Structure 1
């Protein structure tokens, strides 16, 4: 536990998790490295000598994730799972969700023959149908996770039908896109303050607090052509990656959610007495942003139109561009503050050079894991990991409700 301090003076720690389908395994391996470094530091300094896995929910006040990042945030924060637990579940989930099936039979389990049949089927489905994959396996996976890690027996029995919003759990956000309006929609595990109301008159905060874990998980993951659009309460949702594949700006804006106790309503008699209301903008001590890997390979085609499209379309999900934009913005903010009030920003994202990984190619996860392990051993990256762990450790653990 970090040094005691009044709630108002505790700098907040934020975690951002990019989208990227099966490539989310890279984010998890990086986060696992950070948490293990925190444990080593606590052991060395005699703060906590236990060898128990350190939970991200105990070190970050708020997490935001898109698509696969949203699912990871759900498991780590709403369900308080450890990183190794999520890694194990993630490997199974990726294969279950992105395996081509015919009459419910997994074709990839049939070996080379199934692979050669399954992949062409997926390409045909992308042309003639709404999506290549069913969301059934994802819903089943969410049911299994909640049944095993729900906060109590009632929630475990409800499985994926349990409400996402539940006070007293880790604070996390999943990004989605309101399909008909093109507006970013945030699903929260906590009650949002009134000024976070969506622009659309249909997608109210009150309505969003009635969404189930399963529906929210499908909505943040509904990547066009890969998984079906989610229809709920008269609204249609697409994958959050269309607008926020790197959710760093949504996370930064949501820092104001931490300025008031989530349990306090706008008209509560004691809301005005909340400690943090005296500080409209809560101090942010550290932000950690995790990518799912990036490639420098440039698509090429002999046809000019296809070549242009293949280069322009990826800009909609370019997570590194948002990273650079945010870093520039934060640098300008820090330059106007005394050093003691600066916000530390750490961005980790495995480079794959000219290798590319499709968001549904779970069979290449092992290769990406190896590249991530190599990346983590690069001198500059290793030192940043150490510095990040030091910063998180010094700010201290998140007070639990």
Structure 2
């Protein structure tokens, strides 16, 4: 998003004849609405994620959060869910539920007139969704889904050891294309009351950390167990839902959580053979999915970008970062008698990063003082993320290794520098957004508008009133 902002500014300086895709964000006559940040949901039709990626898909796609807000929410989620003390999986899942609902309450903004938002009751499906069973559906085009769609990948447990891939969607998927096989559970969302927090808990239901998630007598486990890279699922999903007779995805961006080195025979520690096989399969399957998706995009003429922090030279990348890591060190340990410890890596952090951590920590104080009347007390949970007291070595490592990855040449023989790929990706996304705005400005307005009329960033459009086909 930062590179797209820079490109918009560069084009404005050069006076290029492009329509700024952000020019229609503020609704006419709404002087009380401030221009928001550049949001990822302005540039993507679909966001599909598994495990932590599923949470991010919900934050960026369903809740339409900015990148900075999603990062701050991620820091708070991690600090709440993985405290330094040992807790039971059931306790950790309850913490996850409360943390997710707290994020929803902070970013929903659709209940000012009708009372406070109760995060636990917010449904996963989009606000601009209409029931197919409603007789007025075909006539009321204003309720068609016109905004960014999100899906979470999980696994539904079957008999014995069999599991099936299962998607929780914010949208309908009933398109039957014989050319696209194995679309997970295509269905209508008629009368669906599935809440956001339940879908998120199902997608992240690691048996070790959270235990199995039960929804309507069905058991769900972490979608990343067998689908650590859901890019193939996302590609098929976009093609299946497309209304075009020959669906082609305009661009595909895959974000990894850090490349792991395939373990050796003993893996450097006393693993069992079964554990080694599971680790090897996960690393191999992730790379296999990447290569298959890359090949499919090349054959279809679809630009494909894969960003995944890799170990290089003496840097370990993110290979040592585990799901439950949220390590922190006190800035004022007792043995320094009031003095403050200096951490070398902390000096390398840019000022904006330090400021962002401070904002994430200060937001907890506002939750303490600004408790919404009628809100559930357990949802107003104070975060354990406190950058004034602690250095968060796990978060800082993720940031530093990602920044280093962006500056070095990729280890792939035919890959370009990562920075060049980021630049090219930004160009593709911005060009496509501008084309959509140029070709149908009213349809574009619907796409970047918040779908709920109660939201302050909702915009009216003749596209909805005229009942044009999506």
Aligned match for 2:237, one of 249, 254, 257: 254
Secondary structure in 2 aligned to 1:244? coil
Q: Does 1:289 align with 2:254?
A: yes
1:185 equivalent in structure 2: 166
1-side partners of 2:95 and 2:272: how far apart? 35
1-side partners of 2:287 and 2:50: how far apart? 15
CA deviations 1:88-135 (Å, max 9, x no partner) are 111110111112xxxxxxxx3xxxxxxxxx4xx57xx6xxxxx48621
Q: What is the TM-score of this pair, normalised by structure 1?
A: 0.70
Q: Does 1:370 align with 2:400?
A: yes
1-side partners of 2:58 and 2:166: how far apart? 16
Q: What is the TM-score of this pair, normalised by structure 2?
A: 0.61
Q: Does 1:323 align with 2:360?
A: no
Equivalences for residues 229-378 of structure 1 within 5 A? 229-259=212-242, 276=243, 279-296=244-261, 298-299=263-264, 301=266, 306=271, 308-318=273-283, 319-331=286-298, 333-334=299-300, 342-353=301-312, 354=316, 355-363=319-327, 364-378=394-408
- Supply the RMSD in Å over aligned alpha carbons: 3.1
Give structure 1 regions of 4+ aligned residues with deviation exceeding 6 angstroms. 196-201, 302-305
CA deviations 1:50-85 (Å, max 9, x no partner) are 896311100011110001001001010101100000
2-side partners of 1:302 and 1:347: how far apart? 27
* Long gaps (5+) in structure 1: 1-34, 100-107, 109-117, 126-130, 260-275, 335-341
The higher relative CO (CA closer than 8 Å, separation ≥ 6) is in: 1
CA deviations 1:183-241 (Å, max 9, x no partner) are 1111111122254999999x965489331101001000001211121111111111111
Q: Does 1:394 align with 2:358?
A: no
* Long gaps (5+) in structure 2: 13-18, 24-34, 129-144, 328-393, 410-416, 437-443, 448-470
Contact kept? 1:179, 1:237, Cα under 8 Å: yes
CA deviations 1:227-257 (Å, max 9, x no partner) are 1211111111111112221111110111135
1:112 equivalent in structure 2: none
1:170: how far off?
2.5
Contact kept? 2:252, 2:303, Cα under 8 Å: yes
Equivalences for residues 2-401 of structure 1 within 5 A? 35-46=1-12, 47-48=19-20, 53-99=37-83, 108=84, 118=85, 121=86, 131=89, 134-150=92-108, 152-153=110-111, 157-166=117-126, 167=128, 168=145, 169-180=147-158, 181-193=162-174, 195=176, 205-206=188-189, 209-259=192-242, 276=243, 279-296=244-261, 298-299=263-264, 301=266, 306=271, 308-318=273-283, 319-331=286-298, 333-334=299-300, 342-353=301-312, 354=316, 355-363=319-327, 364-379=394-409, 380-396=417-433, 399=444, 400-401=446-447
1-side partners of 2:115 and 2:276: how far apart? 45
When the two structures are aligned, how many residues end up with a matched partner? 314
- Going from structure 1 to structure 2, the CA distance change for 1:198 and 1:350 (only over 3 Å counts) comes to closer
Contact kept? 2:167, 2:184, Cα under 8 Å: no
- Going from structure 1 to structure 2, the CA distance change for 1:96 and 1:206 (only over 3 Å counts) comes to same
CA deviations 1:126-164 (Å, max 9, x no partner) are xxxxx4862111111111111111151169623132110
- Going from structure 1 to structure 2, the CA distance change for 1:381 and 1:303 (only over 3 Å counts) comes to closer
2-side partners of 1:173 and 1:361: how far apart? 25
Contact kept? 2:174, 2:241, Cα under 8 Å: no
Secondary structure in 2 aligned to 1:186? strand
